[in-house]
Structure 1
Amino acid sequence: MSRDDSSRGKKPSGRQGGNFKKKSYARGNSPIKKNTTASKPQDPNSIRLNKYVANSGVCSRRDADIYIAAGSVTVNGKPITEMGYKVKLSDEVKFDGQLLNPVKREYVLLNKPKDFVTTIRDDRGKRHVSGLISSASKSKLLPVDKLEKEHTGLLLFTNDGNMTKTLKSPINGLRKIYHLVLEQELRSADLKKIQEGVVVDEKVVRVQDISFIADAPKREVGIEIYSSRNKIVERLFETLGYKIQKLDRVVYGGLTKKDLPRGHWRYLTDQEVINFKMIK
Protein backbone atom coordinates (compact mmCIF):
# COMPACT_ATOMS: atom_id res chain seq x y z
CA MET A 1 0.00 0.00 0.00
CA SER A 2 1.31 3.41 -0.97
CA ARG A 3 1.63 6.30 1.46
CA ASP A 4 -1.20 8.12 -0.33
CA ASP A 5 -3.44 5.06 -0.09
CA SER A 6 -2.75 4.61 3.63
CA SER A 7 -3.84 8.16 4.43
CA ARG A 8 -6.99 7.92 2.35
CA GLY A 9 -10.18 8.17 4.45
CA LYS A 10 -8.43 9.72 7.46
CA LYS A 11 -9.47 13.08 8.87
CA PRO A 12 -6.62 15.56 9.10
CA SER A 13 -5.72 16.57 12.66
CA GLY A 14 -4.96 20.11 13.72
CA ARG A 15 -1.25 19.28 13.79
CA GLN A 16 -1.26 17.62 10.36
CA GLY A 17 -3.49 20.21 8.71
CA GLY A 18 -1.51 23.28 9.69
CA ASN A 19 -4.05 26.04 10.13
CA PHE A 20 -6.96 23.61 10.07
CA LYS A 21 -9.58 24.35 12.75
CA LYS A 22 -12.21 21.84 13.72
CA LYS A 23 -15.73 23.16 13.19
CA SER A 24 -18.20 23.08 16.05
CA TYR A 25 -21.61 21.67 15.29
CA ALA A 26 -24.79 21.81 17.23
CA ARG A 27 -27.33 19.03 17.50
CA GLY A 28 -28.55 18.09 13.98
CA ASN A 29 -25.09 18.80 12.42
CA SER A 30 -25.96 22.44 11.71
CA PRO A 31 -23.27 25.02 12.42
CA ILE A 32 -23.65 26.89 15.71
CA LYS A 33 -24.87 30.39 15.07
CA LYS A 34 -23.21 33.06 17.07
CA ASN A 35 -25.37 35.80 18.51
CA THR A 36 -24.24 38.89 16.67
CA THR A 37 -26.90 41.15 18.15
CA ALA A 38 -25.20 43.77 20.29
CA SER A 39 -26.57 43.94 23.85
CA LYS A 40 -28.38 47.13 24.64
CA PRO A 41 -26.38 49.25 27.05
CA GLN A 42 -27.97 49.69 30.46
CA ASP A 43 -28.91 53.17 31.56
CA PRO A 44 -27.04 53.79 34.84
CA ASN A 45 -29.67 56.32 35.82
CA SER A 46 -32.60 53.90 35.54
CA ILE A 47 -33.77 51.12 37.86
CA ARG A 48 -36.57 48.56 37.86
CA LEU A 49 -39.60 49.86 39.68
CA ASN A 50 -39.84 46.86 42.03
CA LYS A 51 -36.20 47.32 43.06
CA TYR A 52 -36.78 51.03 43.56
CA VAL A 53 -39.66 50.28 45.93
CA ALA A 54 -37.77 47.52 47.76
CA ASN A 55 -34.68 49.69 48.22
CA SER A 56 -36.81 52.36 49.84
CA GLY A 57 -37.50 49.93 52.69
CA VAL A 58 -41.23 49.60 52.10
CA CYS A 59 -41.18 45.86 51.40
CA SER A 60 -39.35 43.05 49.62
CA ARG A 61 -38.98 43.06 45.83
CA ARG A 62 -41.46 40.19 45.54
CA ASP A 63 -44.07 42.08 47.55
CA ALA A 64 -43.30 45.20 45.52
CA ASP A 65 -44.50 43.34 42.39
CA ILE A 66 -47.81 42.67 44.13
CA TYR A 67 -48.27 46.30 45.14
CA ILE A 68 -47.33 47.48 41.64
CA ALA A 69 -49.86 45.14 40.05
CA ALA A 70 -52.49 46.46 42.48
CA GLY A 71 -51.83 50.03 41.34
CA SER A 72 -50.43 51.20 44.71
CA VAL A 73 -47.30 52.68 43.12
CA THR A 74 -47.27 55.85 41.04
CA VAL A 75 -44.51 57.35 38.90
CA ASN A 76 -44.77 61.10 38.33
CA GLY A 77 -48.39 60.94 39.45
CA LYS A 78 -49.39 58.07 37.15
CA PRO A 79 -50.19 54.56 38.48
CA ILE A 80 -47.87 51.93 36.98
CA THR A 81 -48.92 48.27 36.88
CA GLU A 82 -46.46 47.03 34.25
CA MET A 83 -44.02 44.35 35.46
CA GLY A 84 -40.39 45.16 34.69
CA TYR A 85 -41.13 48.85 34.27
CA LYS A 86 -38.02 51.02 34.66
CA VAL A 87 -37.86 54.44 36.23
CA LYS A 88 -35.20 57.10 36.32
CA LEU A 89 -33.64 58.16 39.58
CA SER A 90 -35.00 61.65 38.91
CA ASP A 91 -38.61 60.37 38.72
CA GLU A 92 -41.04 60.95 41.57
CA VAL A 93 -42.14 57.54 42.86
CA LYS A 94 -44.82 57.21 45.53
CA PHE A 95 -46.29 54.28 47.42
CA ASP A 96 -49.80 54.94 48.73
CA GLY A 97 -49.06 58.65 48.37
CA GLN A 98 -45.77 58.50 50.29
CA LEU A 99 -42.66 59.71 48.45
CA LEU A 100 -39.97 57.01 48.24
CA ASN A 101 -36.18 57.18 48.32
CA PRO A 102 -34.50 54.48 46.16
CA VAL A 103 -31.27 54.30 48.17
CA LYS A 104 -31.07 50.92 49.86
CA ARG A 105 -31.11 51.21 53.65
CA GLU A 106 -28.09 49.57 55.26
CA TYR A 107 -27.18 48.95 58.89
CA VAL A 108 -23.73 48.06 60.20
CA LEU A 109 -22.57 47.39 63.76
CA LEU A 110 -18.93 48.09 64.66
CA ASN A 111 -17.01 47.15 67.79
CA LYS A 112 -14.98 50.35 67.92
CA PRO A 113 -11.35 50.13 69.02
CA LYS A 114 -9.50 52.84 70.91
CA ASP A 115 -7.95 55.89 69.18
CA PHE A 116 -10.52 56.27 66.38
CA VAL A 117 -12.63 59.42 66.11
CA THR A 118 -16.34 59.47 65.28
CA THR A 119 -16.78 63.18 64.58
CA ILE A 120 -18.00 64.09 61.08
CA ARG A 121 -15.82 67.17 60.78
CA ASP A 122 -12.43 66.89 59.07
CA ASP A 123 -9.90 65.69 61.65
CA ARG A 124 -6.69 65.68 59.68
CA GLY A 125 -4.15 63.11 60.69
CA LYS A 126 -6.65 61.23 62.87
CA ARG A 127 -7.99 57.77 62.21
CA HIS A 128 -11.74 57.80 61.58
CA VAL A 129 -14.19 54.99 62.29
CA SER A 130 -15.53 55.23 58.72
CA GLY A 131 -12.28 53.65 57.52
CA LEU A 132 -13.02 50.54 59.55
CA ILE A 133 -16.32 49.90 57.70
CA SER A 134 -15.29 51.17 54.25
CA SER A 135 -15.81 47.72 52.69
CA ALA A 136 -19.30 47.32 54.17
CA SER A 137 -21.16 49.51 51.67
CA LYS A 138 -20.86 51.74 48.63
CA SER A 139 -23.20 54.17 50.34
CA LYS A 140 -22.03 56.70 52.90
CA LEU A 141 -22.88 55.27 56.30
CA LEU A 142 -22.78 57.57 59.30
CA PRO A 143 -22.62 56.69 63.01
CA VAL A 144 -25.93 57.12 64.81
CA ASP A 145 -24.17 58.63 67.83
CA LYS A 146 -20.61 59.18 69.04
CA LEU A 147 -17.98 57.54 71.18
CA GLU A 148 -14.98 59.59 72.25
CA LYS A 149 -11.63 58.79 70.65
CA GLU A 150 -10.33 57.01 73.76
CA HIS A 151 -13.55 55.03 74.30
CA THR A 152 -14.47 51.64 72.84
CA GLY A 153 -17.51 49.52 72.14
CA LEU A 154 -20.60 49.25 70.00
CA LEU A 155 -21.30 51.86 67.35
CA LEU A 156 -24.18 51.66 64.87
CA PHE A 157 -23.86 53.01 61.31
CA THR A 158 -26.63 53.56 58.77
CA ASN A 159 -27.83 55.70 55.86
CA ASP A 160 -31.39 55.56 57.22
CA GLY A 161 -31.98 59.14 58.31
CA ASN A 162 -35.35 58.41 59.88
CA MET A 163 -33.93 55.69 62.11
CA THR A 164 -30.99 57.88 63.11
CA LYS A 165 -33.36 60.67 64.14
CA THR A 166 -35.47 58.24 66.18
CA LEU A 167 -32.55 56.60 67.97
CA LYS A 168 -30.96 59.91 68.88
CA SER A 169 -34.01 61.02 70.80
CA PRO A 170 -36.35 58.10 71.55
CA ILE A 171 -39.24 58.99 73.86
CA ASN A 172 -38.60 56.03 76.14
CA GLY A 173 -34.82 56.08 75.79
CA LEU A 174 -32.48 53.54 74.24
CA ARG A 175 -30.94 50.83 76.41
CA LYS A 176 -27.15 51.09 76.75
CA ILE A 177 -24.79 49.26 79.08
CA TYR A 178 -21.24 50.44 79.77
CA HIS A 179 -18.26 48.83 81.46
CA LEU A 180 -16.32 51.62 83.19
CA VAL A 181 -12.91 51.80 84.78
CA LEU A 182 -12.52 54.84 87.04
CA GLU A 183 -9.25 56.44 88.08
CA GLN A 184 -10.20 55.86 91.73
CA GLU A 185 -12.47 53.51 93.60
CA LEU A 186 -16.16 54.37 93.62
CA ARG A 187 -17.39 55.01 97.14
CA SER A 188 -20.48 53.08 98.21
CA ALA A 189 -22.17 56.37 99.17
CA ASP A 190 -21.72 57.69 95.64
CA LEU A 191 -22.96 54.41 94.18
CA LYS A 192 -26.15 54.90 96.16
CA LYS A 193 -26.46 58.51 94.96
CA ILE A 194 -26.29 57.34 91.34
CA GLN A 195 -28.94 54.72 92.04
CA GLU A 196 -31.25 57.38 93.47
CA GLY A 197 -30.58 59.92 90.72
CA VAL A 198 -27.98 62.66 90.26
CA VAL A 199 -28.71 66.16 88.96
CA VAL A 200 -26.62 67.05 85.87
CA ASP A 201 -27.23 70.45 84.25
CA GLU A 202 -30.40 70.93 86.30
CA LYS A 203 -31.87 67.61 85.16
CA VAL A 204 -31.98 64.38 87.14
CA VAL A 205 -30.13 61.47 85.50
CA ARG A 206 -31.88 58.17 86.17
CA VAL A 207 -29.99 54.91 85.69
CA GLN A 208 -31.64 51.54 85.28
CA ASP A 209 -28.89 49.74 87.16
CA ILE A 210 -25.34 50.22 88.45
CA SER A 211 -23.10 47.74 90.25
CA PHE A 212 -19.49 46.81 90.86
CA ILE A 213 -17.95 44.28 88.48
CA ALA A 214 -17.60 40.90 90.19
CA ASP A 215 -14.07 39.87 91.23
CA ALA A 216 -12.67 43.23 90.10
CA PRO A 217 -11.36 46.32 91.91
CA LYS A 218 -13.94 48.85 93.14
CA ARG A 219 -12.82 51.10 90.27
CA GLU A 220 -14.72 48.92 87.81
CA VAL A 221 -18.49 49.30 87.49
CA GLY A 222 -21.23 48.37 85.08
CA ILE A 223 -23.96 50.90 84.39
CA GLU A 224 -27.22 50.53 82.45
CA ILE A 225 -28.83 53.74 81.29
CA TYR A 226 -31.56 54.81 78.86
CA SER A 227 -30.69 58.49 78.53
CA SER A 228 -29.81 59.90 75.07
CA ARG A 229 -28.13 63.03 76.45
CA ASN A 230 -24.69 63.74 75.01
CA LYS A 231 -21.76 62.29 77.01
CA ILE A 232 -24.13 61.80 79.94
CA VAL A 233 -22.15 58.94 81.53
CA GLU A 234 -18.93 60.97 81.68
CA ARG A 235 -20.78 64.04 82.97
CA LEU A 236 -22.59 61.98 85.59
CA PHE A 237 -19.35 60.77 87.16
CA GLU A 238 -17.62 64.14 86.75
CA THR A 239 -20.43 65.68 88.81
CA LEU A 240 -19.46 63.38 91.67
CA GLY A 241 -15.74 64.07 91.27
CA TYR A 242 -14.69 60.97 89.30
CA LYS A 243 -12.76 60.68 86.07
CA ILE A 244 -13.33 57.77 83.70
CA GLN A 245 -10.16 55.98 82.66
CA LYS A 246 -11.82 53.48 80.31
CA LEU A 247 -15.32 53.28 78.84
CA ASP A 248 -16.57 50.32 76.82
CA ARG A 249 -20.14 50.18 75.48
CA VAL A 250 -21.10 46.51 75.65
CA VAL A 251 -24.83 46.77 74.85
CA TYR A 252 -26.59 49.12 72.41
CA GLY A 253 -30.34 48.70 72.12
CA GLY A 254 -30.70 44.94 71.88
CA LEU A 255 -27.25 44.51 70.29
CA THR A 256 -24.26 42.97 72.07
CA LYS A 257 -20.59 42.36 71.29
CA LYS A 258 -21.07 38.60 71.02
CA ASP A 259 -18.88 37.13 68.24
CA LEU A 260 -17.76 40.64 67.25
CA PRO A 261 -14.05 41.19 68.04
CA ARG A 262 -12.67 44.67 68.54
CA GLY A 263 -12.23 46.51 65.24
CA HIS A 264 -14.64 44.20 63.37
CA TRP A 265 -18.12 44.90 62.00
CA ARG A 266 -21.21 43.00 60.88
CA TYR A 267 -24.54 43.71 59.19
CA LEU A 268 -27.66 43.83 61.31
CA THR A 269 -30.08 40.95 60.78
CA ASP A 270 -33.54 41.63 59.36
CA GLN A 271 -35.06 41.01 62.80
CA GLU A 272 -32.64 43.43 64.46
CA VAL A 273 -33.61 46.13 61.95
CA ILE A 274 -37.30 45.48 62.63
CA ASN A 275 -36.67 45.77 66.38
CA PHE A 276 -35.02 49.17 65.96
CA LYS A 277 -37.81 50.41 63.68
CA MET A 278 -40.31 49.59 66.42
CA ILE A 279 -38.62 52.07 68.77
CA LYS A 280 -40.59 55.30 69.12
Structure 2
Amino acid sequence: MNDTSPTERLSKRLARTLGCSRRDAERYIAGGWVRLDGQVVEEPQFKISTQTLELAKGARVEEIPPATLLVHVGPDEFSAPDTASSEQAHAASLARQWLTHDTHWADDPDRRTPLKAHFRGQQALLSLSPGEQGLWVFSQDRRVIRRLAEDTSRLEQEWLVEVTGTLDAAQLESLCRGTALPGKQFAPGKVSWQSETRLRVAVKGMVPGQVQAMCAALGLGVVTIKRLRIGGVSLARVPAGQWRYLRVDERF
Protein backbone atom coordinates (compact mmCIF):
# COMPACT_ATOMS: atom_id res chain seq x y z
CA MET A 1 0.00 0.00 0.00
CA ASN A 2 1.75 3.16 -1.15
CA ASP A 3 0.35 6.66 -0.84
CA THR A 4 1.93 10.04 -1.30
CA SER A 5 -0.84 12.10 0.28
CA PRO A 6 0.10 14.92 2.68
CA THR A 7 0.75 14.07 6.30
CA GLU A 8 -2.31 12.69 8.12
CA ARG A 9 -3.25 10.42 11.01
CA LEU A 10 -2.33 6.78 10.46
CA SER A 11 -5.85 5.63 11.39
CA LYS A 12 -7.39 7.94 8.80
CA ARG A 13 -4.99 6.81 6.07
CA LEU A 14 -5.54 3.12 6.89
CA ALA A 15 -9.33 3.49 6.95
CA ARG A 16 -9.27 5.21 3.56
CA THR A 17 -6.86 2.64 2.09
CA LEU A 18 -8.79 -0.39 3.33
CA GLY A 19 -12.26 1.08 2.96
CA CYS A 20 -13.00 0.29 6.61
CA SER A 21 -14.28 2.39 9.51
CA ARG A 22 -11.91 4.58 11.51
CA ARG A 23 -12.66 2.45 14.58
CA ASP A 24 -11.65 -0.76 12.80
CA ALA A 25 -8.49 0.95 11.57
CA GLU A 26 -7.63 1.90 15.16
CA ARG A 27 -8.12 -1.71 16.24
CA TYR A 28 -5.78 -2.97 13.52
CA ILE A 29 -3.15 -0.46 14.62
CA ALA A 30 -3.45 -1.08 18.39
CA GLY A 31 -3.29 -4.83 17.72
CA GLY A 32 0.18 -4.50 16.20
CA TRP A 33 -0.95 -5.45 12.67
CA VAL A 34 0.22 -2.29 10.89
CA ARG A 35 3.75 -1.51 9.68
CA LEU A 36 5.26 1.62 8.22
CA ASP A 37 8.42 0.99 6.20
CA GLY A 38 8.59 -2.42 7.84
CA GLN A 39 8.29 -1.16 11.45
CA VAL A 40 5.25 -1.88 13.61
CA VAL A 41 3.42 1.29 14.66
CA GLU A 42 0.77 0.99 17.41
CA GLU A 43 -0.36 4.62 17.71
CA PRO A 44 -3.47 5.52 15.64
CA GLN A 45 -2.53 9.21 15.86
CA PHE A 46 0.91 8.64 14.32
CA LYS A 47 1.49 11.01 11.39
CA ILE A 48 2.10 9.32 8.05
CA SER A 49 3.25 10.93 4.83
CA THR A 50 5.11 8.90 2.18
CA GLN A 51 5.97 5.80 4.20
CA THR A 52 5.03 2.38 2.86
CA LEU A 53 1.93 1.17 4.68
CA GLU A 54 1.44 -2.57 5.22
CA LEU A 55 -1.21 -4.65 6.95
CA ALA A 56 0.12 -7.95 8.28
CA LYS A 57 -1.26 -11.21 6.94
CA GLY A 58 -3.94 -12.65 9.17
CA ALA A 59 -4.79 -9.23 10.64
CA ARG A 60 -7.95 -9.30 12.72
CA VAL A 61 -10.28 -6.56 13.89
CA GLU A 62 -10.77 -7.30 17.58
CA GLU A 63 -10.71 -5.67 20.99
CA ILE A 64 -7.54 -6.20 22.99
CA PRO A 65 -8.41 -8.08 26.21
CA PRO A 66 -7.14 -6.53 29.46
CA ALA A 67 -3.76 -7.87 30.53
CA THR A 68 -2.41 -8.83 33.94
CA LEU A 69 1.37 -8.76 34.27
CA LEU A 70 3.40 -10.58 36.92
CA VAL A 71 6.68 -8.83 37.72
CA HIS A 72 9.65 -10.38 39.52
CA VAL A 73 11.05 -7.47 41.51
CA GLY A 74 14.69 -8.13 42.20
CA PRO A 75 16.86 -7.16 45.19
CA ASP A 76 17.17 -3.42 45.76
CA GLU A 77 14.86 -2.60 42.81
CA PHE A 78 12.11 -1.09 44.93
CA SER A 79 12.67 1.89 47.20
CA ALA A 80 10.27 4.09 49.14
CA PRO A 81 8.60 6.97 47.27
CA ASP A 82 9.84 10.44 48.02
CA THR A 83 7.64 12.71 50.12
CA ALA A 84 6.19 14.38 47.03
CA SER A 85 4.92 11.13 45.50
CA SER A 86 1.91 9.05 46.45
CA GLU A 87 2.40 5.30 46.71
CA GLN A 88 0.31 4.68 43.57
CA ALA A 89 2.13 7.39 41.61
CA HIS A 90 5.44 5.86 42.66
CA ALA A 91 4.23 2.41 41.60
CA ALA A 92 3.10 3.82 38.25
CA SER A 93 6.56 5.28 37.73
CA LEU A 94 8.13 1.91 38.49
CA ALA A 95 5.67 0.21 36.12
CA ARG A 96 6.87 2.42 33.27
CA GLN A 97 10.40 1.32 34.09
CA TRP A 98 9.69 -2.40 34.50
CA LEU A 99 6.90 -3.07 32.01
CA THR A 100 8.47 -2.91 28.57
CA HIS A 101 8.93 -5.17 25.56
CA ASP A 102 12.58 -5.65 26.55
CA THR A 103 11.83 -6.93 30.06
CA HIS A 104 9.26 -9.52 28.93
CA TRP A 105 10.39 -13.04 29.90
CA ALA A 106 11.45 -14.78 26.70
CA ASP A 107 10.18 -18.17 27.96
CA ASP A 108 6.74 -16.91 28.93
CA PRO A 109 4.35 -19.86 28.31
CA ASP A 110 1.70 -17.32 27.28
CA ARG A 111 2.76 -16.72 23.69
CA ARG A 112 0.95 -13.45 23.03
CA THR A 113 3.01 -10.62 21.56
CA PRO A 114 3.49 -7.67 23.95
CA LEU A 115 1.61 -4.58 22.80
CA LYS A 116 1.85 -1.03 24.04
CA ALA A 117 -1.85 -1.31 24.86
CA HIS A 118 -0.97 -3.97 27.47
CA PHE A 119 1.09 -1.43 29.42
CA ARG A 120 -1.42 1.43 29.53
CA GLY A 121 -3.44 2.03 32.68
CA GLN A 122 -1.82 -0.79 34.63
CA GLN A 123 -2.79 -0.69 38.32
CA ALA A 124 -0.35 -1.88 40.98
CA LEU A 125 -1.94 -4.46 43.31
CA LEU A 126 -0.81 -5.77 46.70
CA SER A 127 2.25 -3.54 46.48
CA LEU A 128 5.54 -4.64 47.92
CA SER A 129 7.13 -2.59 50.67
CA PRO A 130 10.62 -1.09 50.37
CA GLY A 131 13.24 -3.78 50.80
CA GLU A 132 10.89 -6.60 49.73
CA GLN A 133 11.27 -8.53 46.49
CA GLY A 134 9.50 -11.13 44.43
CA LEU A 135 6.01 -11.19 42.91
CA TRP A 136 4.20 -7.92 42.22
CA VAL A 137 0.99 -7.84 40.19
CA PHE A 138 -0.07 -5.14 37.72
CA SER A 139 -3.44 -5.41 35.99
CA GLN A 140 -5.94 -3.75 33.66
CA ASP A 141 -8.54 -6.43 34.36
CA ARG A 142 -11.37 -5.23 36.61
CA ARG A 143 -12.01 -8.76 37.86
CA VAL A 144 -8.39 -9.19 38.96
CA ILE A 145 -8.30 -5.71 40.48
CA ARG A 146 -11.46 -6.40 42.47
CA ARG A 147 -10.19 -9.80 43.61
CA LEU A 148 -6.85 -8.48 44.87
CA ALA A 149 -8.36 -5.34 46.39
CA GLU A 150 -11.41 -6.80 48.12
CA ASP A 151 -10.56 -10.43 48.93
CA THR A 152 -7.20 -10.02 50.64
CA SER A 153 -8.43 -11.72 53.81
CA ARG A 154 -9.00 -14.90 51.80
CA LEU A 155 -5.88 -14.73 49.68
CA GLU A 156 -2.87 -16.68 50.90
CA GLN A 157 0.51 -15.07 50.28
CA GLU A 158 3.65 -17.18 50.42
CA TRP A 159 7.03 -15.67 51.28
CA LEU A 160 10.60 -16.92 51.57
CA VAL A 161 12.43 -15.14 54.39
CA GLU A 162 16.17 -15.30 54.91
CA VAL A 163 17.00 -14.62 58.55
CA THR A 164 19.79 -14.55 61.08
CA GLY A 165 19.20 -16.15 64.45
CA THR A 166 17.37 -19.24 65.70
CA LEU A 167 13.97 -20.19 67.10
CA ASP A 168 12.88 -22.78 69.61
CA ALA A 169 9.70 -24.81 69.09
CA ALA A 170 7.54 -22.41 71.12
CA GLN A 171 8.75 -19.39 69.15
CA LEU A 172 8.09 -21.13 65.83
CA GLU A 173 4.58 -21.97 67.07
CA SER A 174 3.99 -18.31 67.94
CA LEU A 175 4.87 -17.38 64.35
CA CYS A 176 2.32 -19.91 63.12
CA ARG A 177 -0.35 -18.56 65.48
CA GLY A 178 0.38 -14.93 64.65
CA THR A 179 1.14 -14.11 68.30
CA ALA A 180 4.89 -13.50 68.07
CA LEU A 181 4.49 -9.75 68.62
CA PRO A 182 3.31 -9.05 72.19
CA GLY A 183 -0.03 -7.26 72.31
CA LYS A 184 -0.73 -7.88 68.60
CA GLN A 185 -2.74 -10.69 67.02
CA PHE A 186 -1.96 -11.34 63.36
CA ALA A 187 -3.70 -13.88 61.14
CA PRO A 188 -2.34 -17.38 61.76
CA GLY A 189 -0.48 -19.17 58.99
CA LYS A 190 1.98 -21.87 58.09
CA VAL A 191 5.64 -21.34 58.94
CA SER A 192 8.45 -23.86 58.44
CA TRP A 193 12.21 -23.94 58.09
CA GLN A 194 13.39 -24.52 54.52
CA SER A 195 17.05 -24.45 55.54
CA GLU A 196 19.08 -23.29 58.53
CA THR A 197 18.61 -19.65 57.47
CA ARG A 198 15.36 -19.64 55.48
CA LEU A 199 11.76 -19.64 56.64
CA ARG A 200 8.79 -20.30 54.38
CA VAL A 201 5.72 -18.35 55.49
CA ALA A 202 2.19 -18.70 54.06
CA VAL A 203 -0.54 -16.49 55.51
CA LYS A 204 -4.04 -15.37 54.51
CA GLY A 205 -4.93 -11.75 55.13
CA MET A 206 -1.32 -10.69 55.57
CA VAL A 207 -0.69 -7.17 56.88
CA PRO A 208 2.20 -5.18 55.35
CA GLY A 209 5.27 -5.56 57.55
CA GLN A 210 3.76 -8.46 59.49
CA VAL A 211 6.57 -10.94 58.89
CA GLN A 212 9.31 -8.43 59.64
CA ALA A 213 7.62 -7.30 62.87
CA MET A 214 7.12 -10.84 64.19
CA CYS A 215 10.67 -11.88 63.30
CA ALA A 216 12.10 -8.82 65.04
CA ALA A 217 10.03 -9.57 68.16
CA LEU A 218 11.61 -13.02 68.32
CA GLY A 219 15.16 -11.72 67.85
CA LEU A 220 15.49 -12.75 64.22
CA GLY A 221 17.18 -10.44 61.74
CA VAL A 222 15.50 -10.32 58.32
CA VAL A 223 18.13 -10.37 55.56
CA THR A 224 15.79 -10.74 52.57
CA ILE A 225 12.06 -11.28 52.14
CA LYS A 226 10.65 -12.50 48.85
CA ARG A 227 7.02 -13.06 47.84
CA LEU A 228 6.68 -16.31 45.90
CA ARG A 229 2.92 -16.67 45.47
CA ILE A 230 -0.44 -14.91 45.77
CA GLY A 231 -3.35 -17.34 45.93
CA GLY A 232 -2.87 -19.85 43.14
CA VAL A 233 -0.47 -17.69 41.14
CA SER A 234 3.30 -17.96 41.54
CA LEU A 235 6.33 -16.33 39.98
CA ALA A 236 7.31 -19.59 38.29
CA ARG A 237 10.80 -19.25 36.80
CA VAL A 238 10.61 -15.59 35.81
CA PRO A 239 14.09 -14.05 36.29
CA ALA A 240 14.48 -10.99 38.49
CA GLY A 241 13.77 -7.78 36.61
CA GLN A 242 11.42 -9.47 34.10
CA TRP A 243 7.69 -10.13 33.84
CA ARG A 244 5.22 -12.59 32.37
CA TYR A 245 1.52 -12.59 31.51
CA LEU A 246 -1.11 -14.11 33.79
CA ARG A 247 -2.33 -17.13 31.81
CA VAL A 248 -6.01 -17.69 31.15
CA ASP A 249 -5.90 -20.90 33.22
CA GLU A 250 -4.44 -19.20 36.32
CA ARG A 251 -6.57 -17.89 39.19
CA PHE A 252 -5.64 -15.93 42.27
Q: Normalising by the residue count of structure 2, what TM-score does the alignment of the two structures yield? A: 0.59
Q: Does residue 75 of structure 2 align to residue 117 of structure 1?
A: no
Native 8 Å contact 2:152 2:204 kept in 1: no
Map of 2:190 onto structure 1 = 209
1:1-280 aligned within 5 A: 41=13, 42=15, 47=23, 104-117=65-78, 119-122=87-90, 128-135=94-101, 136=114, 137-170=118-151, 172-198=153-179, 204-213=185-194, 216-217=195-196, 219-272=197-250, 275-276=251-252
Higher relative contact order, chain-length normalized (CA < 8 Å, sep 6+): 2
Cα drift, residue 35 of structure 1:
11
Native 8 Å contact 1:114 1:149 kept in 2: no
**Unpaired segments ≥5 residues, structure 2:** 6-10, 28-62, 80-86, 102-113
The code of the aligned residue for 1:188 comes to A
Pair 1:203–1:184, CA change in 2 (3 A): closer
Tell me how far apart the structure 2 counterparts of residues 181 and 139 of structure 1 sit (CA, whole Å): 35
The code of the aligned residue for 1:158 comes to S
Pair 1:200–1:138, CA change in 2 (3 A): same
Native 8 Å contact 1:113 1:152 kept in 2: yes
Pair 1:129–1:231, CA change in 2 (3 A): farther
Pair 1:46–1:149, CA change in 2 (3 A): farther
Native 8 Å contact 1:140 1:159 kept in 2: yes
The code of the aligned residue for 1:160 comes to D
Q: Normalising by the residue count of structure 1, what TM-score does the alignment of the two structures yield? A: 0.54
Q: Secondary structure at the match of 1:198?
A: coil
Tell me how far apart the structure 2 counterparts of residues 210 and 235 of structure 1 sit (CA, whole Å): 15
Native 8 Å contact 2:153 2:206 kept in 1: no
Pair 1:138–1:241, CA change in 2 (3 A): same
Cα drift, residue 173 of structure 1:
1.8
Q: Secondary structure at the match of 1:108?
A: strand
Tell me how far apart the structure 2 counterparts of residues 112 and 104 of structure 1 sit (CA, whole Å): 25
Tell me how far apart the structure 2 counterparts of residues 105 and 142 of structure 1 sit (CA, whole Å): 11
**Unpaired segments ≥5 residues, structure 1:** 1-33, 52-101
Equivalenced residues, count: 184
Cα drift, residue 172 of structure 1:
4.6
Cα drift, residue 165 of structure 1:
3.7
Tell me how far apart the structure 2 counterparts of residues 246 and 143 of structure 1 sit (CA, whole Å): 22
Identity value in percent: 18
Tell me how far apart the structure 2 counterparts of residues 112 and 153 of structure 1 sit (CA, whole Å): 5
